[in-house]
Amino acid sequence: MTQAPSKEYGKKYWLDDMRNVNKIFRALIIVCALLFISDFFYEKHVVYEFEHWLGFFGLFGFSVSFALVLTARELRKILMRDEDFYDR
């Protein structure tokens, strides 16, 4: 990926540099891996048996947020107004 020329777009921000974006991405992966590994080191007080599964709450949270995004995308088609809706 290329960097935006600073004279064309004005001020250059720290996230315009792809090396910084890659650092943030790697840090996010490391944090997620550490949280997943931490699942081994604490005692779970669960109600249902499937809550004992390794990484259940992480996978559950990811799948629910993914489903929420897909649902919102479909709801947008139903609720979206025309561009000139308020100008009429």
**Amino acid, res. 37:** I
CA 80 to chain centre: 24
Paired tokens of 49: 């048996």
Return the sign of the alpha-carbon dihedral for residues 51, 53, 55, 60. negative
Give the Cα separation of 50 and 41 in Å (integer). Answer: 18
Q: What is the DSSP letter of 4?
A: P
* Full-model pTM: 0.57
Give the Cα separation of 59 and 22 in Å (integer): 24
* Predicted confidence (pLDDT) at residue 11 exceeds the cutoff of 90: no
Q: For the chain, give the mean pLDDT.
A: 86
Per-residue pLDDT of 23-54, as tens digits, reads 999 999 999 899 888 888 888 888 999 888 88
